[in-house]
Structure 1
Amino acid sequence: MSDVAPSPLALLLRTDHLTRVVDIGANPIDGDPPYKPLLARRLCRVVGFEPQPEALARLNAAKSDLETYLPHAIADGQNRTLHVCAASGMTSLLEPDPHVLSHFPGLGDWGRVLERREIDTVALSAVPEIDGVEMLKMDLQGGERAVLDGAGDTLSEAVCIQLEVSFVPLYKGQATYGEMDLALRAKGFIPHMMASTSRRMILPMRGPDVYTALNQLVEGDAVYVRNFLQPEAMTTEQLKHLVLIAHYCYRSFDLALNGLHHLAQRGAVPADAAGQYLRIVQTGG
């Protein structure tokens, strides 16, 4: 079905199945998702969720045969209020906090609630289209903790979670970065990197536009990985998918090489896999 050249790393690893990606809040308003390099090489399958009809329609119009997008609002499975905001990127199951937003240029206008809509949410563990997860991406404007609460054992095989974290909570009742860090560590994950950070200028100082900032951190996309300091706690298949994700999604070549080292010790890849991998990195494969 495709003339995509085989991935030399995938040939080296020979996973049992394509990497299973779940994307909650798949609206691509901030650019390409981190798993796009995997998808371009046909190395993953994606189940994405986007409750906003216009965004869902755009995703379905552009999707490949490896992508499935569903209209569910993923949380803890309870009835919730969806706060539809002036800026679609701020629409959330949590209510924006006007006091906090008033301290930063633009956010008060963007977070103005235009409509409150009662919706039924779906717990991640109750979605039949998901038969396992290696990589989870969450961009839910404060709803990430509710997803974890409703995940059950769905994330037992996951090796990577990228989520939006809040240093200054913009929504009422939003979990802070510290709270999410503790929740993820309790599930066996440790911080790996910040994929991005968002800074805002503190009012009353203003710059030439609303995006001008100095130092105040507001949000960021944090990447957590299954604790590589305890490789014995990961199955061989988990290690293989962690290598693929580290290499293609984040260019974390050191993490990928570490995983290959442990796989070679298990006899799951050739003994010279580390050397082969370094050549793959050098040639941009």
Structure 2
Amino acid sequence: MHGASRRNDDGLSALLQPARSTAVVDIGANPIDGDPPYKPMLQSGLCRVTGFDPHPQALAQLQACKGAFETYLPYAVGDGGSHTLNICRGIGFASLLQPEPKTLTHFPNFTELGRVVDRLPLDTRRLDDIAEIEHIDLLKIDIQGGELSVFRNGRSKLAKAVAIQTEVSFVPLYEKQPVFGDIDLELRSLGFIPHMFVAINKKMIAPMMGPNPAAAFNQLVEADVVYVRDFIQAEAMDSEQLKHLALIAHHCYASFDLALNCVHHLASRGAVAPDAKNRYVALLQANRPKVAGGRL
């Protein structure tokens, strides 16, 4: 499988011939949630990653495992002001926002996991002010309620971005935490539309408690959502944007239909070979015979 994936990577990149590697920015790069979506691109040398995490333990782990195409910095990205990082017993609960005690009592173990064990004063940096970032094609962000502040203070850097994977909350676990509707309105104002759910986090509502407190019924708590630059308005994207959107759609999310749509527009512009659509379909047929439940 890994061999097929790499042949796919090489074939699509050769077909599109982007001017540079895909630029990935990962804010809240803590690796506790498993492999990031861009890992296939990173392994194939198709992207460069600039990651941020002010949590000392998370940053140390990232630095210890990084490869040649990865840079990790200890900056807290936000509104540019001075804040306090609330370090909680559960490492995934660390946030610039204060945990909301009443909400936490409604989910098994959350009160303990959200207990603040240390507070780290820090200065945040606006995304637009970070000199180490030259380009953003894909932004992955998960900073426990601070996402909206990053978007609002990163409009210039995000102007050319083509994909954003962000955590959204349906039940605010922190005081004054923006929720899904707030994030959705902001990203739509930046020219993005929802594309897919990567993960949906449901939790059991207390006082019910089973043998596995992490088990869930139906209550939505959080989700990871991918937004993409509005492909309906493809004429608003330049050819380099379309190339990186195709690469991200294909390699990170198996969104082959979106990738083909990008290739279609590129071919119409003469930015890739006239037969690029047929060559991409052939590449898919050779490596992934079934797509979305049907054959190409």
User: Which TM-score band applies after superposition, normalised by the shorter structure?
Assistant: over 0.9
Structure 1 residue runs of 5 or longer lacking an equivalent are: none
The percent of aligned pairs where both chains have the same amino acid is 54
1:95 aligns with 2:131: no
2:155–2:190: 8 Å Cα contact kept in structure 1? Answer: no
1:36 aligns with 2:39: yes
Q: Which moved more, 1:133-142 or 1:5-14?
A: 5-14
Give the secondary-structure state (helix, strand or coil) at the position aligned to 1:239.
helix
Instruction: Output the CA distance in 1 between the equivalents of 2:181 and 2:286.
Output: 39
1:164–1:222: 8 Å Cα contact kept in structure 2? Answer: yes
Q: Over residues 7-38 of structure 1, what are the superposed CA-to-partner deviations in whole Å (9 max), with x where a residue is unaligned? A: 10000000010000000000110000011011
Choose which of 185, 190, 207 in structure 2 pairs with 1:204: 207
1:195 aligns with 2:198: yes
Alignment map for 1:176-187 (pairs within 5 Å)? 176-187=179-190
**C-alpha displacement of 1:207:** 2.0
Alignment map for 1:16-27 (pairs within 5 Å)? 16-27=19-30
**C-alpha displacement of 1:96:** 0.6
Give the secondary-structure state (helix, strand or coil) at the position aligned to 1:60.
helix
Give the secondary-structure state (helix, strand or coil) at the position aligned to 1:7.
helix
Choose which of 59, 62, 66 in structure 2 pairs with 1:56: 59
The one-letter code sitting in structure 2 at the alignment partner of 1:272 is D
Instruction: Output the CA distance in 1 between the equivalents of 2:155 and 2:12.
Output: 32
Instruction: Output the CA distance in 1 between the equivalents of 2:120 and 2:70.
Output: 28
Structure 2 residue runs of 5 or longer lacking an equivalent are: 1-5, 289-296
Q: How many residues align?
A: 282
Tell me the residue number matched to 1:150.
153
The one-letter code sitting in structure 2 at the alignment partner of 1:75 is G
Instruction: Output the CA distance in 2 between the equivalents of 1:53 and 1:39.
Output: 24
Give the secondary-structure state (helix, strand or coil) at the position aligned to 2:201.
strand
Tell me the residue number matched to 2:272.
269
**C-alpha displacement of 1:62:** 1.2
Instruction: Output the CA distance in 2 between the equivalents of 1:30 and 1:56.
Output: 14
The one-letter code sitting in structure 1 at the alignment partner of 2:265 is H
User: TM-score, normalised on structure 2?
Assistant: 0.93
**C-alpha displacement of 1:61:** 1.5
Choose which of 234, 240, 244 in structure 1 pairs with 2:243: 240
**C-alpha displacement of 1:54:** 1.9
1:220 aligns with 2:223: yes
Instruction: Output the CA distance in 1 between the equivalents of 2:58 and 2:64.
Output: 10
**C-alpha displacement of 1:150:** 1.7
2:107–2:203: 8 Å Cα contact kept in structure 1? Answer: yes
The one-letter code sitting in structure 2 at the alignment partner of 1:257 is L
More helix by share: 2
Tell me the residue number matched to 1:110.
113
1:207–1:213: 8 Å Cα contact kept in structure 2? Answer: no
1:85–1:111: 8 Å Cα contact kept in structure 2? Answer: yes
Alignment map for 1:71-86 (pairs within 5 Å)? 71-86=74-89
1:189–1:225: 8 Å Cα contact kept in structure 2? Answer: yes
The one-letter code sitting in structure 2 at the alignment partner of 1:205 is M
Give the secondary-structure state (helix, strand or coil) at the position aligned to 1:209.
coil
**C-alpha displacement of 1:81:** 1.4
Q: Which moved more, 1:206-215 or 1:37-46?
A: 206-215
What RMSD in Å do the two structures reach over aligned CA positions? Answer: 1.2
Instruction: Output the CA distance in 2 between the equivalents of 1:57 and 1:206.
Output: 35
Tell me the residue number matched to 1:10.
13
1:172 aligns with 2:158: no
